[in-house]
Amino acid sequence: MGSGQWLMEKRSSFRSDSFSKEYENVPETGCLSIIVLGASGDLAKKKTFPALFNLYRQGFLQSNEVHIFGYARTKISDDELGNRVRGYLGKDASPGHSEDVSKFLQLIKYVSGSYDTEEGFKLLDKEISEHELAKNSAEGSSRRLFYFALPPSVYPIVCKMIKKCCMNKSDFGGWTRIVVEKPFGKDLESSEQLSAQIGELFEEPQIYRIDHYLGKELVQNMLVLRFANRFFLPLWNRDNIDNVQIVFREDFGTEGRGGYFDEYGIIRDIIQNHLLQVLCLVAMEKPISLKPEHIRDEKVKVLQSVLPIKDEEVVLGQYEGYRDDPTVPDHSNTPTFATVVLRIHNERWEGVPFILKAGKALNSRKAEIRVQFKDVPGDIFKCKKQGRNEFVIRLQPSEAIYMKLTVKQPGLEMSTAQSELDLSYRQRYQGVTIPEAYERLILDTIRGDQQHFVRRDELKAAWEIFTPLLHRIDNGEMKPIPYEPGSRGPAEADQLLEKAGYVQTHGYIWIPPTL
SS3 470: helix
Q: What does pTM read for this prediction? A: 0.87
SS3 379: coil
Residue 92, pLDDT score: 67
Give the Cα separation of 416 and 390 in Å (integer).
Answer: 16
Find out whether the peptide bond into 326 is cis, omega within 30 degrees of 0: no
Residue 29, pLDDT score: 64
Of 110, 177, 181, 120, nearest in space to 143 by CA: 177
Give the Cα separation of 515 and 509 in Å (integer).
Answer: 19
Helix axes of 456-474 and 188-199: crossing angle, nearest 10 degrees = 150
Name beta bridge partners: 340: 314, 356
Q: What is the mean pLDDT of each run of 10 residues along the chain (515 residues)?
A: 41 42 49 90 89 90 88 88 84 73 88 90 90 73 89 91 85 84 89 93 92 86 91 92 95 84 92 94 94 93 96 95 90 95 96 96 93 85 76 88 82 76 79 83 91 91 96 94 94 94 78 67
Give the Cα separation of 24 and 332 in Å (integer).
Answer: 50
Specify whether the CB–CB gap between 42 and 85 falls below 8 A. no
Residue 339, pLDDT score: 97
Of 83, 199, 243, nearest in space to 460 by CA: 199
Annotate 329-354 with b (16+ C-beta within 10 A) or e (fewer).
eeebbbbbbbbbbbbbeeebbeebbb
Give the Cα separation of 490 and 317 in Å (integer).
Answer: 6
Of 131, 124, 200, 138, nearest in space to 167 by CA: 124
Give the Cα separation of 388 and 424 in Å (integer).
Answer: 21
Q: Which residues are catalytic?
A: 274
pLDDT tens per residue, range 239-281: 999 999 999 999 998 887 888 889 899 999 999 999 999 999 9
pLDDT tens per residue, range 101-150: 888 888 899 999 899 888 999 999 998 888 888 776 666 678 899 999 98
| Residue 313 DSSP code | G
Specify whether the CB–CB gap between 418 and 506 falls below 8 A. no
HSE-CB for 7 with a 13 A CA cutoff: 14
Give the Cα separation of 205 and 448 in Å (integer).
Answer: 8
